Amino acid sequence: MTETTPVKEARLWSDNGWTARVIKNNDDDGWAVEMLKDGEPEPALVGPWTMGRDKKNPKPLDTAAFNTLVKTASEVIRRHEQQLHATLHKEVVVNVSGETWRVTLDIVADEYEPHALLAAHDSAGEEVAQVRVKADFKLNAARATAWVEDDFKKPG
């Protein structure tokens, strides 16, 4: 990985893996700023940008604005990753015959063979069983309990 030289221009700043670019806002006569993380094809954040004193041109980027934009864009990415994880990972805890089981469902969003992995973990956190199920398998406490009670046989 090569280090790039920081760019600090009025409408383009690039540093620490991020690029801020002030662009014409297509929706009105104003300006917008896009934040692009190095290596990503799409901006992580696009938002309105302040007009300069002449009310025609955009306010120039500066260190404080760039740092704020990096922080905001990083938060957007973090929230997106959390949402994606929550969508692809489900977990329930059930008690069966006096034992506590943590049952997880991890969806594998494969383009050709989407599926999910259903797993059971004992009270020590050890994985005891894992089976492949359909990607649309609905995990809830009743289904997890039934699976544990059925000695972890692949659900139908």
pLDDT of residue 137 exceeding 60:
yes
pLDDT in tens, 42-51: 999 999 999 8
Query: H or E segment at 69?
Result: helix 63-88
| pLDDT at position 103 | 98
pLDDT of residue 153 exceeding 90:
yes
- 64-90: b (≥16 Cβ within 10 Å) or e: ebbeebbeebbeeeeeeeeeeeeeeeb
End-to-end CA distance of the chain: 48
Specify the pTM: 0.64
| Sign of the dihedral through C-alpha 123, 127, 128, 134 | positive
